[in-house]
Amino acid sequence: MSRPRIFVTRRIPEAGLTRLRASFEVVVNPDDRPLTTEELHRGIADADAVIGLLTDRIDAAFFDAAPNLKGYANYAVGYDNIDVAEATRRGIPVSNTPDVLTMATAELAWALLFAVARRVVETDAVMRSGAWTGWGPLQFIGADVSGRTLGIVGAGRIGTAMARMSAGFNMRVLYTSSSSRNEELERDLGARRVEFDELLRESDFISIHTPLRPSTRHLFNADAFRRMKNRAILINTGRGPVIREDDLVAALHAGEIGGAGLDVYEMEPRMAEGLKDCPNTVLLPHIGSATHSTRDNMALLAAENIEAMLAGTRPPTILNPEVLK
């Protein structure tokens, strides 16, 4: 009797693949690149389950191409690449990998905040070029962090973790939330839930952690940048399209805001025209979860979800539990 077949759309850490190979036939995309739609659909044609990435479109055409599919696991916490409603309509469970990347992503958001505030990348380049001629009192002046106001846009797991890390810097914390109050932050940090406009006006640093939804797409646009402090620094380790990147480029060049640290982009892997030339920016290639333990744990959680789907039991991080009723 043949074993269930799992198709993995791009190589993930061996921890997850080894676990799956103990019970299933596992086929992995041999190329270190996203598959085209045609390649993806060909690869999943006889798959019983699939592990994929944010670059894969999981929509009606995907499900049509995989008539034997019993489950799909996203190797990511975000899932705007999945048509969850369509999966539910077809009775197919889908999952993501939350929690295991919370601390790594929050830590990277802080790394970006400090790097932009203290002009770390810019000054490193000066030293490497040999252009530095010695200390001067007006050189490379950056932003203070301690005692300033941190605005958290989306106080979920990662936003909460980042906010908690501000305690050592005696920062005032404001946050927005589309759901309920974050009682943990209010109790432990004295954080205050505010409307988006107040967060823009009051924050010295703004860190984006909100999911990508129709209501958050291009939330940060020309109008939002005009309402921010002209020395405010924007950090995004969440979802790229929350920022309208062309407007960010214009705001940075016009000095409407003080700087930006980005790990995600509106049109990944491309950046908006002119972004790489903007002053006081730090631009990273989507490495928020890129630590050894985090990536291993993401792979293991995706594998655990697949095992449960194929066994007909509840996956630990299912996105559409109603399909199991």
Kindly state the tokens that stand for 259: 């700087």
Catalytic residue among 19, 148, 239, 295: 239
268 as an active site residue: the answer is: yes
Task: Count the neighbouring beta carbons within 10 Å of the beta carbon of residue 14.
Answer: 11
Q: How far apart are CA 101 and CA 28, in angstroms?
A: 23
Half-sphere exposure of 303 (CA within 13 A, CB side): 22
239 as an active site residue: the answer is: yes
Tell me how far CA of residue 162 lies from CA of 61, 154, 234, 294, in angstroms.
38, 11, 14, 16
Query: Following DSSP, what letter does each residue of 268-319 receive, concatenated?
Result: TTB--TTGGG-SSEEE--S-TT-SHHHHHHHHHHHHHHHHHHHHTS--TTBS
33 as an active site residue: the answer is: no
Instruction: Give the DSSP H/E element, type plus range, for residue 207.
Output: strand 205-208
CA angle centred on 288, ends 287 and 289, rounded to 5°: 95
Q: How far apart are CA 159 and CA 35, in angstroms?
A: 31
Instruction: Give the DSSP H/E element, type plus range, for residue 160.
Output: helix 157-165
Q: How far apart are CA 246 and CA 267, in angstroms?
A: 11
Residue numbers annotated as active site: 239, 268, 286
